[in-house]
Amino acid sequence: MNKYKIVLLAGDGIGPEISDVSKKVLKKLSKKHNFDIEIIEKLFGGIAYEKYRNPAPDETLDQCKKSDAVLLACVGDIKYDSLAREFRPESGLLKLRSALNLFANIRPVKIRKSLIDASTLKKEIVENVDLIVVRELIGGIYFGKPRGHISNTEIPKAFNTMVYDSAEIERITEIAIKIAHQRNKKICSVDKSNVLEVSQLWRDTVLKSTSKHKNLSLSNMYVDNAAMQLIRDPSQFDVILTSNLFGDILSDLAAMLTGSIGMLPSASLNNNGPGVFEPVHGSAPDIAGKNIANPIAMLLSASMMLKIGLNEEEAAESLENAVDKVLSKGYRTADLANSFSEVLSCSEIGEKIIEEI
Ligand code: NAD
């Protein structure tokens, strides 16, 4: 029997509620598909700050490094917004990504047929959307140095540096190539090379890396056009490859094609070592503690963890199918509900999914 050790970071806000559902679902899947999964829970985010004055304590990071995969719910709350930057829950996320060298963020955006009406775009625009955003995660302007404030000027100034070397671009391109090979073999690389030198290096490097793969088709798009095309005709995309800043913005935009942020999973990976699997949404403080959150984004993140992180493909498929069955029967959490659906709480929809596994 295969045995896995995963770390669960429930974090803040709705995190504990959706984590509770995820634990139960993983236990059911392990029984059905005959593997053993040890779930180690650790403090992370605001809750870790409360106890240790550190949103990403060393003990949590060490345990993550020793695990087979990390399943993270979400962190953050308005009450931490006035803290110095290094104490904020979101800084914990950056620390975790750096500690595990998670340079690739993968975000699948797929329309589930039963939820097509949840999108704010017309049905015919979104019905065939099935794309993946591959975003570089630990470089670019979020990490570039020098950065800072200049105080001795007449008016306040601040600056950041957008920097990549070709090795960083090559390794994220290799991930996009691998994913494109498993799909429709189309990569669209998004940059701003008409204005930025760093984007020109990005474009040249992506071209060089992909040119060895004759069966792949590569296109390039400026980021402003990509934003427009994602709304105009999103089904033209298969794999979108882009840098940290552009990926951050475009992946949220792409996420909303599906209608609810409560449905979208993501994976952050490196070439070896544990990945972090987490929903795209934040901690939703406005609905925390009410048992009304949608746990499906976290469950689909658990499915990505089973597939990519643990190689338990059948269990991953079984979970995806169970989610689809529950949705097609008309069960919904409040964020997805329409006049035909039966609205269930977070824990109730979890139970329905467990019944279908
Ligand atoms: P958010 O994603 O938490 O919430 C945006 C809206 O979507 C809210 O109305 C919320 O109720 C709703 N929503 C989100 N997830 C939902 C779910 N699973 N089910 C039902 N509805 C859901 O974004 P925000 O309000 O901008 O941020 C709240 C906090 O989360 C902030 O502190 C922010 O920094 C943090 N945040 C954390 C992460 C992360 O942990 N990776 C990501 C984004 C934001």
Residue 28 is among the residues annotated as catalytic for this protein: no
Q: Do the annotations mark residue 77 as ligand-binding?
A: no
Q: Do the annotations mark residue 224 as ligand-binding?
A: yes
Whether pLDDT at 6 is above 80: yes
For residue 293, the ligand 1 atom closest to its alpha carbon is 19
In a domain, residue 266? The reply is: no
- Residues 141, 241 within the same domain: yes
Q: Do the annotations mark residue 293 as ligand-binding?
A: yes
Strands (E) located in the chain: 2-11, 35-41, 69-74, 104-110, 130-136, 148-150, 157-159, 186-191, 217-222, 239-242, 265-269, 276-279, 331-332, 342-343
- Residues 102, 204 within the same domain: no
Mean pLDDT of the chain: 95
For residue 335, the ligand 1 atom closest to its alpha carbon is 20
Whether pLDDT at 260 is above 80: no
- Residues 55, 77 within the same domain: yes
* Dist. CA 236 → ligand 1 center (Å): 28
Q: Check residue 182 and give its pLDDT.
A: 87
- Which of 248, 307, 331, 335 is the catalytic position? 248
Q: Smallest Cα–Cα separation from 198: which of 224, 222, 164?
A: 164
- Residues 141, 168 within the same domain: yes
- Which of 28, 95, 192, 307 is the catalytic position? 192
The range of the structural domain enclosing residue 226 comes to: 120-258
Q: Check residue 119 and give its pLDDT.
A: 84
Residue 248 is among the residues annotated as catalytic for this protein: yes
265-323 pLDDT, tens per residue?
999 999 888 999 999 899 999 999 999 999 999 999 999 999 999 999 999 999 999 99
In a domain, residue 264? The reply is: no
Mean of the pLDDT values across residues 252-262? 82
Q: Check residue 262 and give its pLDDT.
A: 80
- Of all residues in the chain, the percent with pLDDT exceeding 70 is 100
Confidence of residue 336 (pLDDT cuts 50, 70, 90): confident
Q: Check residue 338 and give its pLDDT.
A: 78
Mean of the pLDDT values across residues 61-81? 97
pTM: 0.90
Confidence of residue 228 (pLDDT cuts 50, 70, 90): very high
Q: Which two tokens stand for residue 118?
A: 């949840």
Instruction: Give me the CATH number covering residue 90.
Output: 3.40.718.10
Confidence of residue 348 (pLDDT cuts 50, 70, 90): very high
Q: Check residue 44 and give its pLDDT.
A: 98
Q: Which two tokens stand for residue 18?
A: 């959706």
- Residues 157, 189 within the same domain: yes
Q: Check residue 109 and give its pLDDT.
A: 93
Mean of the pLDDT values across residues 185-194? 98
What 3-state DSSP class applies to 61? helix
In a domain, residue 240? The reply is: yes
Ligand 1 pocket member 301 (CB < 6 A): no
In a domain, residue 130? The reply is: yes
Q: Check residue 272 and give its pLDDT.
A: 85
Among the three residues 227, 258, 289, which one is the final residue of a domain in this structure? Answer: 258
Among the three residues 230, 258, 286, which one is the final residue of a domain in this structure? Answer: 258
Q: Which of 21-30, 162-171, 324-333 has the lowest mean pLDDT?
A: 324-333
Whether pLDDT at 115 is above 90: no
Ligand 1 pocket member 26 (CB < 6 A): no
- Residues 230, 292 within the same domain: no
Q: Check residue 285 and give its pLDDT.
A: 96
Whether pLDDT at 84 is above 90: yes
Whether pLDDT at 162 is above 90: yes
Where helices occur in 100-222 by DSSP H, the ranges are 123-126, 166-181, 197-210
In a domain, residue 323? The reply is: yes
- Which of 252, 324, 325, 352 is the catalytic position? 252
Among the three residues 225, 258, 291, which one is the final residue of a domain in this structure? Answer: 258
User: Environment class of residue 36 by beta-carbon count within 10 Å: exposed (0-12), middle (13-18) or buried (19+)?
Assistant: exposed
- Residues 129, 252 within the same domain: yes
* Dist. CA 284 → ligand 1 center (Å): 4
List, in order, residues 6 or more apart from 37 with CB less than 8 Å away: 3, 4, 6, 26, 27, 30
Residue 145 is among the residues annotated as catalytic for this protein: no
Mean of the pLDDT values across residues 38-57? 98
Q: Check residue 179 and give its pLDDT.
A: 92
Between residues 337 and 288, which one has the greater pLDDT?
Answer: 288
Q: Check residue 116 and give its pLDDT.
A: 85
- Of all residues in the chain, the percent with pLDDT exceeding 90 is 87
- Residues 124, 251 within the same domain: yes
Q: Check residue 201 and give its pLDDT.
A: 98
Q: Check residue 210 and give its pLDDT.
A: 97
Q: What is the end-to-end Cα distance of the chain in Å, rounded?
A: 20
